[in-house]
Amino acid sequence: MAICAVLVVASYCGATSTTSPSGLSERQNMLGKGYTPEGNGIGVGMCVPASGGVATSAQGIWQGTTNTNQTVAGVVLADGTSYFIYSQAGNSTSIVGAVLGNATFNHGTLSAPNAVDFVIGGAAYNATVSATYVQGSTINATIAAAGTTGTVTLYYDSVYDQPASLAATAGTYTATVGSLAGVQTATLTVAANGAITGGGGGCTFSGAATPHGSVNVFDVQVTFNGGACLFGTSTIYGVVFYDAPNRTLYGAAPNTAHTDVLLFIGTK
């Protein structure tokens, strides 16, 4: 009987692999992502969505490593807007840049031909991103910018499936802040109502964070108060997401012209 059951599973899923949900909530999340059940009930296996057939999504919070040992963390939103921060090789706490773009994705293929690679303390370069992905699992991407090409393997962080919590995110963060002008330290406080205040290096700012739909990402707006602020008195818009196990807040927000970006990694 066991052999027969295995044969039925293999026939049902075809060339795709299977995984099993741990409970009803996880099963419902998997169904929403395009997984198909091998039978009735919570304990049955779920067929991983194939690259063809059912439309799939690359949205999520993703973390991984490049072929040169740079740590990468970022988010792809449902509309394809993408923000990825990357570190110095071998030093995950040192921000050196970010790739921002508007990706299109479906059936396991992702493309962002008009992305921008912002190098902290340097310049902004046109970039192209091409990738394959397995929804809710992995992204394998190739990024070309400034005459060089690199690869990155990213893994899905299931924290994306949880609603963003201002209560959990609230607190004061000691942060590294980067832009094309360089890197400096700052403090940032997120209140339980989403209000943002902070400053560093003679610059102060304020703003607000609001949950982005039902996923674990916040939309953020920040207004600078002039003086020594590199962004003058402008208001910029982007996203932040909170890594609860490491008590770390990641953020990225480009200026209106997309010629510079504010990057933020802070811990509380």
CA distance 162 to 88: 29
What pLDDT score does 180 carry? 95
What pLDDT score does 12 carry? 40
Q: CATH 2.40.128.10 residue ranges in the chain?
A: 163-267
Q: Tokens 């610059």 appear where?
A: 203
- Which ranges of 66-202 does DSSP label H, i.e. alpha helix? 166-169
Pair of tokens at residue 111? 């493309």
Cβ-based burial of 7 (10 A; exposed 0-12, middle 13-18, buried ≥19): exposed
Residues in the chain with pLDDT values less than 70: 1-55
What pLDDT score does 2 carry? 29
What pLDDT score does 25 carry? 57
Count of CB atoms within 10 A of residue 97's CB?
23
pTM of the model: 0.78
- Residues 6 or more apart from 41 whose CB is under 8 A from it? none
CA distance 58 to 131: 10
- Residues 6 or more apart from 255 whose CB is under 8 A from it? 231, 234, 236, 261, 262
Between 3.90.380, 2.40.128, 2.60.40, 2.40.10, what CATH number should domain 60-159 receive? 2.40.128
Class in CATH terms, 163-267: mainly beta
